[in-house]
Structure 1
Amino acid sequence: MDTDPLPLLEDLIRCPSVTPTEAGALDCLEAYLRSAGFHCERLVFSDKGTPDVDNLFARIGKSGPHLCFAGHIDVVPPGRLEDWAAPPFAAFQADGFLYGRGAADMKGSVAAFATAAADAVKAGSFTGSLSLLITGDEEGPAINGTAKVLAWMKENGHVPDHCIVGEPTSAEKLGDTIKIGRRGSLSFDLAVAGMQGHVAYPHKADNPIPKLARLIDRLAAYKFDDGNDHFDPTTLAFTTIDVGNPAGNVIPGRAQARFNIRYNTEHTPDTLIAIVRDACARIEEELGGTFTLDVVNGADAFITEPGAFVGVVLDAIEAETGVHAKLSTSGGTSDARFIKDYCPVLEFGPLNTTIHQVNERIAIADLRHLAGVYRAIIDAYAGRKPA
């Protein structure tokens, strides 16, 4: 790497861009990319009941292959300021680390791939197109961010051949993990109706709690699958149970629960919803009552099969860090869940040990190596023409 990504990252951290506020972070990045020759578009999207979100798309080159780097400059709130070793937006250096909200998640990656891309353009080492998709809505509802930028990109002829998301994927040392897929996420709101009554006369009431308890037991013990080569088994976790009843001598008339299913590519949302509905129907037959379900599909499960594209990234990581990365599908969701509908996508970035924590930080040496990995990917990408 010719350019040190540290100054750009310091500038980005000093912008307190808590979702959905841009706070100058996109201005800073846009100025940097324009100076490197990128054509930049600022894209502000709106939706009913959600805040407007400012996004940035930058591209250089018109021919293929087209490699896109995706990321976000929005960050979670810093929490109690007095718990930080230094102000969370001061970009404080100590003991080889840069401290600040967003240092690892994920302004560090944004600074690293922006400087890597600028260096590659300056050196003339890339023949194709490079682009950056930067949103301010990843840590929030993710409605006016990446999903809408991608739709705009498709309408305007900017769909890339491959995409790398700079999420902090490394677990113990830089380069030990890349994400080639993610589990799907289904969230359920469940309610069972009964009839309120006095506890001394249970036969005159219809208690929904035993019905809900039996369903919880059935679903919590249900084996969905054994996983597969890339995914762990599907899991279900209950998160709340509530009857809204402050009295000890009243049988409630309604019981509610929430749960989430994280699923692999052995299932679709439809197959999982059918399993849950069947379980509800069986309890209704056994104990009576009426179950109602509201379902939110947060993300579909997906996989980017190992091949030439994944190989380019693995080789670049090993060449720069000496680490052979593990291919993983663990963790929660990311904006890769939107990108996978347009092109193959994977995720690679710095350590995730301090993300969303007080004193979030990135090792300065890791930041520089990360930029080196991204530069190596760019230099190899066009020549390898990954499938």
Structure 2
Amino acid sequence: MTSSDPIENLAALIRCASVTPQDDGALSCLQAMLEPLGFSSDRRVFEDTDTPAIDNLYARLGDSGPHLMFAGHTDVVPPGNEAAWTHPPFDAAIADGRIYGRGAVDMKGGIACFVAAVARFVEAHGQPEGSISLLITGDEEGPAVNGTVKLLEWAAGKGERWDGCIVGEPTNPESLGDMIKIGRRGSLSGRITVNGVQGHVAYPHLADNPLRALTPMLDALMNPQLDAGTDAFPPTNLEVTTVDVGNPALNVIPASARASFNIRFNDTWSGETLRAEIKNRLEKAARDDGLRPGRGPADYALEWVDRVSPVFLTRDEALIGAMRDAVKTVTDREPALSTTGGTSDARFIKDYCPVLEFGLVGDTMHMIDENAGLDDLEGLTQIYLAFLERWFSKTPR
């Protein structure tokens, strides 16, 4: 197999059924592509309480600066109902100009193209005047505990330093060249539990319905809007995702009610200031007796769920400019610089170096019949190659 062919690279990776947390040979397959190009490889297994052990790969070509990192993951989500696939999800079947398989776009395709681009770069120019590393985890689609975070800490601990990073997640909504992601909104999740007094619905004066308190509290979370957005980000958005009382009886006032919410926030906020705002809104709403006349403040508890994913915005013009120029050269499109979408491992990398995301069209990721266009795979490889040529020629040594 020649690692300069992104389609062959991707087919080999798809055939590894690396559903989180299983590796199924995916990292060894990637190693076999990289080591003939001169990369040295480190495999690191990390584990933690109540989470599966995860195999990770760090590979580096060169020993000087500037140092470019490519980050990504070989783990994939489950295929779902395999009988519903037009082609088996781990066969890497090619039909009608497309390659089918779980992970084709999210994100084995991005890895396959970057490896092909590096192979072409080395063939055309020799080893770069600097270094290229790949930081690849098997835990992005899972808890994200034993993957990128720990691999970054390990690499930095042994002296690795980076000048820029590309994350190869699928970023384009419709066509290759549509969008470069230069930041991500933060994410904060919480759960509210309101305690009431259970009773018969015919005797409400003997009970205290927690839903009468929870209703104005949820309204206070969503109104007024948290902000109007910034130059780089859309308005902060809070969504209530569950409301539950666990009550199967129609004639019983429940004893408690719970609601969960998630906030995707822009750079108006930090995790700390947003938590303070939510607490203030809930405290005020807990004293609202509009639905509970004559009663005191609601008895409630607020629990923060999981860690905060911080908001970030990359402003490194050398990194952004090189990718923007590469995209325009190959596709003749002017890519939008976007901060839309969910979180990614870029939220961890931004603490170590400037980072942007650019990859394939993502319209089939996580779906039945996930697939990537063969032309897009070649196009992305050319974009990555053009980026490498620009970035290494312009980044100070």
3-state DSSP class of the match of 2:263? strand
Match of 2:392 in 1: 382
Structure 2 counterpart of 1:117: 118
What is the aligned counterpart of 1:198 among 187, 197, 200? 200
- What is the CA–CA distance in structure 2 between the aligned matches of 1:72 and 1:215, rounded to whole Å? 40
How far does the alpha carbon of each residue in 1:127-159 deviate from its partner, in whole angstroms, 9 at most, with x for none?
Answer: 000000110000011000000000011101112
Give the deviation of 1:284 after TM superposition.
Answer: 2.5
Aligned length: 387
CA RMSD, 1 decimal: 1.5
CA shift at 1:99, angstroms? 0.6
Give the aligned residue type for 1:216: L
1:251 to partner: Cα distance: 1.0
User: Aligned partners of 1:22 and 1:348: how far apart in 2?
Assistant: 24
The unaligned stretches of length 5 or more in structure 2 are 290-296
Checking the alignment, whether the CA contact within 8 Å between 1:61 and 1:129 is kept in structure 2 is yes
TM-score (norm 1): 0.97
Q: 1:258 aligns with which of 251, 260, 265?
A: 260
Contact 1:233 1:263 in 2 (8 A): yes
- 2:157 counterpart (135, 138, 155): 155
Shift of 1:383: 1.5
Q: Quote how far apart the aligned CAs of 1:386 are.
A: 7.0
Identity of aligned residues (%): 51
C-alpha distance in structure 1 between counterparts of 2:93 and 2:288, whole Å: 62
What are the superposed Cα offsets for residues 31-66 of structure 1, whole Å, 9 maximum, x if unpaired?
111111100000100001000000000001111100
What is residue 190 of structure 2 aligned with on the other side?
Answer: 188
Retained in 2: the 8 A contact 1:192–1:255?
yes
Is this contact kept in 2: 1:308–1:386, CA < 8 A?
A: no
1:194, 1:217 → 2: CA distance?
Answer: 19
Which of these residues, 294, 303, 318, is aligned with residue 303 of structure 2? Answer: 294
Paired residue for 1:226?
228
Rounded to whole Å, the distance in 2 between the matches of 1:168 and 1:31 is: 24
TM-score (norm 2): 0.95
Moved more, 47-56 or 266-275: 266-275
Cα shift at 1:290: 1.5
| Aligned-partner SS, 2:273 | helix
State the 1:223 CA deviation.
1.3
- Which has the larger displacement, 123-132 or 159-168? 123-132
Task: Mark the CA change 1:2 to 1:141 in structure 2 (over 3 Å): closer, same or farther.
Answer: closer
2:43 corresponds to 1:17: no
How far apart, CA to CA, are the structure 2 residues paired with 1:193 and 1:159? Answer: 51
Is the contact between residue 190 and residue 262 of structure 2 (CA under 8 Å) also seen in structure 1?
A: yes
Structure 1 SS opposite 2:327: helix
Q: Give yes or no for the alignment of 1:72 onto 2:73.
A: yes
Partner of 2:294: none
Q: Which whole-Å CA distance do the structure 2 matches of 1:306 and 1:231 have between them?
A: 17
Q: Report the Cα offset of residue 125 of structure 1.
A: 5.8
Letter in 2 for 1:249: N
CA 1:168–1:363: 2 relative to 1, 3 Å: same
Query: Greater CA deviation, 158-167 or 276-285?
Result: 276-285
Amino acid at match of 1:40: S
Separation (CA, whole Å) in 1 of partners of 2:158 and 2:3? 33
Hey, what's the Cα distance between the residues in 2 that align with 1:172 and 1:352?
A: 8
Equivalent of 1:281 in 280, 283, 291: 283
Equivalent-residue separation in structure 2 for 1:375 and 1:26 (angstroms): 22
Structure 1 segments unaligned to the other structure (5+ residues): none
- Equivalent residues of 1:63, 1:129 under 8 A apart: yes
